[in-house]
Structure 1
C-alpha cells in the first residue's frame, strides 16, 4: 500500500471518518553538491519515489494532534498541543518537526487546529531527507486545510514554502540546515535533477535518464543512523561562517577556485573552504555534462566529491568509505556519500547489468568488516510534493 493510501486508511480507522485530504512529499538523493547550500552554493538533487504522506482534517478546538504509523503498524500519538501555545522548545522528539511547521504557518495567519496522521516509506536516518519530507507534507496539509493548494492562483510559491520549512527546522527544531532538502522535496520533477543556485535562487530542471544510457543509480544505505542534530553538521556550518568572516566575504560562494592557493586561514578552516569551492565547480561540471547528454562521464566528479567530503570536510565514516570503495572496485563509474554525512547513504552510478554484482560486492565488504548488512536499491528521479486525494 502506498503511503497516501495507508495514511488515509489509518486516519479512517482511528477517527471513524475519512480525512479532508492527503498530501505527500518525497525524500531526495543529492547527485552532487554537498554542504554547499548553506554557503550560498550550487546543488543538484533529485526526488526519490519514496514519500511521507499526511492525512489531515481540521479540529475546532485549536489543537494540533499528530500521530505517526510505523512499519509495524503501531501508531505513536504525540500529546495534542494548542496551536496558539507553540514556541521553540515546547515540543520535542519527532513531533517537533510537524509542530514547527504549524508554528511557522501560524505567523502566516494559519491558526486553526488540525488532526494529522502520518505514514511513509522514506528510510529514516538514511540521509535521504525523511524529516524534510515530513515537514513539506505537513506544510501542504495545513495549507490545504486552510483552502490553499500549491500552484493555485494566489498560493505561495513552492520556494516560499521551502523557506518556511527551513525556518521551522532552524527556529523551532533547532537544527541549522540549509535550503537544499526542502526545495528538492517541493520543487523536483520526475525524470530530472534540480540544478539550484542558492545565491540567486535560479533553478533549472536538468534531464536525468540513467536507464536511457544503460545505467542505474544505486543507493547504498549503510544503516548507520544519520542525524543533523547529533552529528558535526553544526560545527561544519559554523566553521564555514567563521572562514567567510575571516576572508571578508558574505559566504564561501564568493571565493573562486583561483583564490584557493593564496588563502591565509587556519588549516581546519582551509579544508572546509577547499571542499565548498571545489564542490561548486564539480556541480557545474556535472550539469554541463548532463546538458550535453554525457551522463556516463559524470562518474569521476562523483568520486572526487566523496574524496573531498571524506578528506577535507571530514563528514564520512568507515561504512560510507567502504561502500564507495566496494562499488568502485566492482566497476561503478563513480560513487559518493550523499546527504550530510556521519552515516546515512552513498550512491553509485553503475551499468544496469552490473547492479547485482556491485550490490553483492558492497554487502560482502560490509560482512568482512563486521558491519551490519546495507540496504541497497536503485532509484529514478521522481515527482515532488503535492496533494494525493
Structure 2
C-alpha cells in the first residue's frame, strides 16, 4: 500500500503541529501535490541542487528540509538564477518539498530536545515556553473479548502517556445495552432485538497532537459498527512546547572540559567558547541553530552555559556580564543532530518497511563553514 504525501504531512503535524510555527515562517508543503505517491524521503537542513540530485539518484521524490528555501514572496522567477534553476528542476522532476522549521524548533521532541539528548543532559525542560498542549480524556466502551486489542491499539498510537510511563489506562466492567434498528449490521445480536453485552468502560488520556491517530487506531481495532466513545478536554496539560532546553550535566565539569565534550558528542572539528575555562558547568541551556536571543532567558533560568550557534562579539559581552558561559557549536552542528531522530520517527510512523519506502539523510549536505 503506497504512502501518500498527505499522510506524511499528517504524521509531521503530529510531531510538530503547524500552530507552533512563527507567524513570519513558511512551513508545510512548499512545492508538490499532496496526493502524490511517495517512493522515498530525503531529509536535509537546506534544500539545494546537491540535495536534489542526491534525492533523484536514490529514488526519493519527497524532500523534507528544515529551513524553507521559499521564504520571501517571489517577484520574478528567472531560470538563469540559482533559485530559479532549483525550482525549475524540482517541478520538472515532480518532487515534493516540505519545510519543517520553527514548528520543529518549538516541538516537544524537536531540534533543541534532540540537541539536549545528544549532549547527555538530564532533567530537561523547555527554556522559553510558547505553547502547552491540551489533554483529552478518552472513554470508550468495548466488549470484554476485544478490550485488550483496543487498549493495545490506542496505546501504540500514543494514548496513555504519563511521565515515563506509556499505555496507561483504567477500566471498569459493566453492561451495555442497544437495539439494532433497520439498516444495521450488528457485530453482536440481531436487528430488532434488545441486546445486553458485558463491556468494559476503558479510559485513558490523549494529547491533542495524537488525537487523530489514536481515534483512527481505536476505530480500526473496535469490532462494533457504531463505536460509543466520549472525549473530554481536560484542564490539566502536559507537553510544553517552546524554544531551547535547559537541563543538568550528569556530573559538573569545567567549561574547558565541557567544550571538549560538546565537540566530541557533536562530531565537530572545533567549537568556540566564551567565559572562564575553569568555571564549573552544571546546568546547561541549549538551542539548535541561532539562539543568541535566549542568552538572558538562559541566565535567568540558572544556566551556567548556553550551547548554540551564530554567536558574535556583542553576545559574548552580554553573556559575560550575566556570568553565563557560551559554547558556539555552529548553526549546522547544533541542528543536524535532529535529523536521525526525524528519520526514525518517520520510519515508525509510516511503517516504512511494510510500505516499501525509505527515509534517508542527505550525505552531500555539509556545513558551509570550514576550520582552517
Does the alignment reach a TM-score above 0.5? Answer: no
Higher strand share: 2
Relative contact order, higher structure (CA 8 A, sep 6+): 1
TM range (shorter): under 0.3
Structure 1 length-normalised TM: 0.21
